[in-house]
Amino acid sequence: MSPVLLIARRELRGYTRTMTGWIIAASVLLIDGLLFNAFALEGARRSTEVLTRFFYFASGPTMVAAIFLAMRLLAEERQLGTIELLYASPVRDRDIVLGKFLGALAFLSAVTVATVYMPLLILVHGHISVGHLLAGYLGLILLGAASLGLGTLGSSLARTQVVAAIVGAALLVSLLVAWLLAGVTEPPFSSLFASLALHNAHFPAFQAGQVHLRDVAYYLLVTWVALFATTRVLEARRWR
């Protein structure tokens, strides 16, 4: 088995064997359920609108869960000293980062997909398209991946998990508020900030059931840049 898959599998098992993983999963499902019941189903709406609102409300818990899942990835390894095990192994730093990221993404994806019973409830009295459903979940997973990437970077920069969560959240919020900055700045900065906005510029198409290549590319790019920076941080730590 490749080192990436080996590390990813260990990471995934780490979530399922500790309370942290289950608490995060339960919280996401609870909050998504409450938001779906309180807001997505509110009033008389068409099935498509309900589904669109479901994805909109599910995006928030997904981002928050990603930060909490990512905070332990490298900060905990440093806290416990187990990072030395990885450093001393014949594994590239990028494989360590990728393996940990993929393990967390697998868990986050499983939790995200576990919310599928909510959209399926719409079928009791309405109709939804499979394409809309798949596009929405693809958007959630891409948004989650980008958030996880930022959280992983935060985890590599911090010594403790709490600080890692704060740094990861700060990076995430910076990309979220880029949308607000776009509204108060002049071109070309306004268009730059608008294109960088993590949620408002790129997620609405997914929640409406549309997949645009530029949005997919944006989330993949954010994820790649964050993981690349994380790898650089790990490499730099060998000097300290």
Partner 1 sequence: MPGKEGGPVMIQVEQLSKYYGARAAIRNLSFRIDSGEVVGFLGLNGAGKTTTLRILGCVLLPTSGMVRLDGQDLLSAPRQLRARIGWLPETPPLYEDMAVGEYLAFVAGLRGVESGRIPTRVGETEERTGLTALDAEPISTLSHGYRQRVGVAQALVHGPDVLLLDEPANGLDPVQNVEMRALIRGLRGDHTVLVSSHILPEIAQTCDRLLVVRDGELVAQGSEAELEERLGVGSGVDLEISGPVEAVVTALRALPGVRSVTVQPTATGRTVLRVDAPDALRPTLALAAIGTGAQLFRLDVSADRLESLFLKLAGRGTAA
Q: Among positive and negative, which fits the CA dihedral 89, 90, 94, 100?
A: negative
- Does 240 bind partner 1 (CB under 8 A)? Our answer is yes
Q: How many residues sit close enough to partner 1 to count as binding (CB under 8 A)?
A: 25
Binding to partner 1 in span 38-97, by CB under 8 A: 80-92
Stretch that binds partner 1, among 64-72, 112-120, 209-217, 232-240 (CB under 8 A): 232-240
Nearest distance, CB of residue 162 and partner 1, angstroms: 19
CB contact at 8 A, 205 and 212: yes
Nearer to partner 1, 3 or 126 (CB): 3
Nearest distance, CB of residue 97 and partner 1, angstroms: 15
Which x/- pattern, by CB under 8 A, does the window 5-24 give for partner 1? Answer: -xx--x--xx--xx------
CB contact at 8 A, 152 and 104: yes
Binding to partner 1 in span 129-168, by CB under 8 A: none
- Does 126 bind partner 1 (CB under 8 A)? Our answer is no
Contacts 24+ apart (CB under 8 A), 5-10: 5/99, 5/102, 6/99, 7/86, 7/91, 7/95, 7/96, 7/99, 7/100, 7/103, 8/98, 8/99, 8/100, 8/102, 8/103, 8/106, 9/103, 10/99, 10/103
Give the binding site for partner 1 (CB under 8 A).
1, 3, 6-7, 10, 13-14, 17-18, 80-92, 238-240
